[in-house]
Amino acid sequence: MSEMALPTTDKRTKLRIANREFRQELGMLMPALVLLAIFLVVPFLLSFWFSLTNERLVPRPVPASFIGLQNFQRVLSDPSFWNSLWNVIRFTLMVLPIQCGFALLTAVLINQKLPFRNLFRSLLFLPAISSMVIVCVIWSTLYQFPTGPLNSLLQGLTFGLAGPVDWLGDSAWSMPALVLLSAWQAYGFQMIVYLAGLQNISPELYDAAKIDGANAWQRFWHITMPGLKQTHVFVILITTIQAFKLFTQVNILTQGGPDGRTDTVVHYMIHSGFVEQKVGYASAVSIILFVIVLAVSLVQRRLMRDAS
């Protein structure tokens, strides 16, 4: 047997091979880890450090100094911050039923064996691949005051009794207007998730219910809805997290206005950090945002476990 011959060299070659393999593994692993360290871990840790200092975006002659928890105190006692948080919650409460409800409706419809279902599915997914910036261009013309399509539709349907409404400029309507365009842009993703969930429900259940004489509505409530329990939890979670990060639409269309009615946490953070250049202060906001997102995910993980 070969292991009898020259055991020392054999060990050495083995060691050399192991060494070479180790270096190779390191070489393949490092690019990703180094990039993640520099551009994810370091900024994340920096945000904790910055939040305790008065760091500015453009450095001043005087270096930034440690100021303890002052940033957090200021953020939490600023009515504008609470306003932005409340707006995000309002946005979430409005967008959740509209976006998820519409996603479920379309998913159920394209899950039927109807003619042209693939064409319908492709068309209904189109908004989801459109950039939010483009969506803003389109919808701001749809919302035109006083002669945009939505206003003509409103006036036509009510025989001129209602409207015209300055959708994006009216403090009562600006948030619902953002909700509608956001739901239109994003529902396709939830639709696909629901579709995957629907396809996991055994068709035999539906056949059995049909034999028992259950109508379409009963089948939906007693088979489809319970079968989608886990999907619901997941969809609600991702929609909520997305909603808490609301920024692009607000930044382009309303700048948080009118009267701060559409200001959001991320918009507030970018405003204080980028426009007012108070990076320390903005970092405190970003940590609060992180804690909120983390809390939502943890709650979801619990619910997912309970649902399965």
Partner 1 sequence: MSASTLLQKFGWRRLSRLEIVQLVSLTIIAIVVVSPLIILVVASLKPDRFAILADMGSMRAFWVDDPTLNNYREILSFDGALPFGRYLVNSVFILLTTVTGGLLINSMAAFVLAWGQMRGRAVILSVLIALYIIPQESIVMPLLVLVNKLGMSDGFSAQILPWMASPIYIFLFYQFFKQVPKDIVEAARMDGASLFRIYWSIFVPLSLPVMATVTILLGIDMWNQYLWPMLVTQSDYARPISVAIAGFFGQDTVFWNTAMAASVLMMVPVLVFYLFFQKWFMNSFAGAVKG
Measured from the CB atom, the residue of 83 and 152 that comes closer to partner 1 is 152
Measured from the CB atom, the residue of 94 and 107 that comes closer to partner 1 is 107
- Closest approach, Cβ 81 to partner 1, in A, equals 15
Any contact of residue 141 with partner 1 (CB under 8 A)? yes
Any contact of residue 209 with partner 1 (CB under 8 A)? no
Any contact of residue 279 with partner 1 (CB under 8 A)? yes
- Closest approach, Cβ 133 to partner 1, in A, equals 5
The binder of partner 1 chosen from 100, 104, 110, 165 (CB under 8 A): 110
The binder of partner 1 chosen from 6, 15, 36, 299 (CB under 8 A): 36
The binder of partner 1 chosen from 138, 201, 209, 223 (CB under 8 A): 138
Any contact of residue 26 with partner 1 (CB under 8 A)? yes
Positions in 225-264 near partner 1 (CB under 8 A): 234, 241, 245, 247-248, 251-253, 255
The binder of partner 1 chosen from 290, 305, 306, 307 (CB under 8 A): 290
Positions in 157-196 near partner 1 (CB under 8 A): 184, 189, 192-193, 195-196
Is-contact 191 124, C-beta < 8 A?
yes
The binder of partner 1 chosen from 151, 182, 224, 240 (CB under 8 A): 151
Q: Build a one-symbol-per-residue string for 42-71: x at contacts with partner 1 by CB under 8 A, - elsewhere.
A: xxx-xx--x----x-x--------------
| DSSP conformation letters of the chain | -GGGS-HHHHHHHHHHHHHHHHHHHHHHHHHHHHHHIIIIIHHHHHHHHHTTB---SSPPSSPP-B-TTHHHHHHHT-HHHHHHHHHHHHHHHHHIIIIIHHHHHHHHHHHS--TTHHHHHHHHHGGGGS-HHHHHHHHHHHT-TTTSHHHHHHHHHTTTSS----TTTSTTTHHHHHHHHHHHHHHHHHHHHHHHHHHTS-HHHHHHHHHTT--HHHHIIIIIHHHTHHHHHHHHHHHHHHHHT--HHIIIIITT-STTTT--HHHHHHIIIIIS--HHHHHHHHHHHHHHHHHHHHHHHHHHHHH-
- Closest approach, Cβ 175 to partner 1, in A, equals 18
The binder of partner 1 chosen from 62, 126, 161, 211 (CB under 8 A): 126
The binder of partner 1 chosen from 53, 84, 99, 106 (CB under 8 A): 106
Any contact of residue 86 with partner 1 (CB under 8 A)? no
User: Of the ranges 69-77, 81-89, 104-112, 169-177, which one interacts with partner 1 (CB under 8 A)?
Assistant: 104-112
